[in-house]
Amino acid sequence: MTRLAAPAGGLPREPAATRADVRSRNDRILLVSMVAYAAVLAGLALERGVELTPAVLAIGVALVTVLALRRRLPFRDWIPFVVVALAYELIRGYQATLDAMVHVAGIIGVERDLLGGQLATGILQAAFHPLHGLDPLAVAATILYVLHVPLPLAVAGWLWLRHRSAFYDFVAALVVLSIAAFITYLLLPVAPPWWAAAHGYVPGPGGRPLISYLQPAAFATLVDSAGLDGRAVFGLAFGNLSPDQIASFPSIHAAYPFLAYLVARRVLGRARWLVLAYAVAAWFAIIYLGDHYLVDVIGGVAYSSAACWSVTGGPARLLGAIRSRAAPGSLGMLSP
């Protein structure tokens, strides 16, 4: 991408026309994604008779307002993050419908097929989880779990300050990834391992669950150390405030950090390996805690890869390759 020289001591800046182009592209991606999302929401509402509460309607109005005023609001470059957050909150209004549609046995079967009859969470917990006492690994894994949003935001902030073109690509890919994941949650709600264990889908010896949900105790340990009621805070953060507890596939906890790596690797230099290392550690954490299957992680990696490819020129390169191979007078006649 062509850049203009910056003043002494300053950072390179893209030409104003270039910024306008990528902002226009991101606006189109945002609007197309939200139209597709709204169509799925409306279709489910009509088919399943979803009751829209005042709170959900308020979120919907806020979302429409943000979209309508996005070009006039301050920090315009960051508006897509607000849109994604509001879009996720809209899932709350469909929770009763999702509970009725939840898939459990199918993904367990896929996981067992991949791992010779076992579950990835069961393998890791058998290897690392102590029978009694504090589990330091679960505490560390919980810290990684709660960083799945702050870390991509930190990468986005760094890109916004240092590599604005990569920032725009990251934002566009994040919108594509998030809306694709949210639509999947609505159409294919999948229960996580801890939910399956709590409802008797993975019995172990003696009828006890084959796996344990390690996050509540680990989170309580962290919060208790700060002088608060860890169990109460966990119930608030992961119960009352969580829009969807059966949004297992694909895992956005796996997808967001990997997307940050895919986009930022072009400009991070050796530091890109730190972002990738965090992504891999996060994958381990969410499986070990019982929050996601290995299949969910694979899905998250696939979704983030597809989102990055779709934004950073994959379709354009593919179309160019098709045109270059087209016989004269066929597709080649369509190129400008």
Is 240 contained in some domain? Answer: yes
Residue found under tokens 């005023």: 69
Band (pLDDT 50/70/90 cuts) for residue 325 is low
Cβ neighbors of 129 (< 8 A, separation 6 or more) are 135, 137, 138, 212, 214, 288
Residue 122's pLDDT is what? 93
Is 96 contained in some domain? Answer: no
Band (pLDDT 50/70/90 cuts) for residue 327 is very low
The parent domain of residue 324 ranges over 102-330
Is 79 contained in some domain? Answer: no
* Burial state string for 40-57 with b = 16 or more CB within 10 A and e = fewer than 16: bbeebeeeeebeeeeebe
Q: What is the percent of the chain where pLDDT is above 90?
A: 35
Closest CA to 181 of 278, 52, 292: 292
Residues 291-303, mean pLDDT to the nearest whole number: 96
Compute the mean pLDDT over every residue in the chain, rounded to the nearest whole number. Answer: 80
Inform me whether the pLDDT recorded for 8 exceeds 60: no
Give the DSSP per-residue string, 85-138: HHHHHGGGGGHHHHHHH-B-HHHHHHHHHHTTT--HHHHHHHHH--SSS--HHH
Residue found under tokens 């270059």: 324
Give how many domains the chain has, as a whole number: 1
Is 48 contained in some domain? Answer: no
Structure token pair of residue 129? 């989880």
Residue 45's pLDDT is what? 84
Task: In whole angstroms, give the CA distance from residue 20 to residue 3.
Answer: 14
Residue 181's pLDDT is what? 95
- Convert the pLDDT of each residue in 101-125 to its tens digit: 888 999 999 999 999 999 999 999 9
Taking the model in full, what pTM does it have?
A: 0.82
Residue of higher predicted confidence among 281 and 202 = 281
Is 290 contained in some domain? Answer: yes
Is 8 contained in some domain? Answer: no
Q: How far is CA 233 from the centre of its chain?
A: 23
Task: In whole angstroms, give the CA distance from residue 336 to residue 315.
Answer: 17
Residues 249-268, mean pLDDT to the nearest whole number: 90
Inform me whether the pLDDT recorded for 232 exceeds 60: no
Band (pLDDT 50/70/90 cuts) for residue 307 is very high
Contact yes or no for 297/251 (Cβ under 8 A): yes
Burial class (CB in 10 A: 0-12, 13-18, 19+), 252: buried
- Convert the pLDDT of each residue in 150-181 to its tens digit: 888 888 998 899 888 889 999 999 999 999 99
Band (pLDDT 50/70/90 cuts) for residue 279 is very high
Residue 317's pLDDT is what? 54
Residue found under tokens 């895992």: 251
Is 325 contained in some domain? Answer: yes
Is 30 contained in some domain? Answer: no
Residues 183-205, mean pLDDT to the nearest whole number: 89
Cβ neighbors of 281 (< 8 A, separation 6 or more) are 144
The helix (run of H) or strand (run of E) holding residue 293 is: none
Residue of higher predicted confidence among 305 and 57 = 305
Residue of higher predicted confidence among 307 and 47 = 307
Residue 175's pLDDT is what? 94
Residue 323's pLDDT is what? 43
- Rg of the chain (C-alpha set): 22
Task: In whole angstroms, give the CA distance from residue 155 to residue 170.
Answer: 9
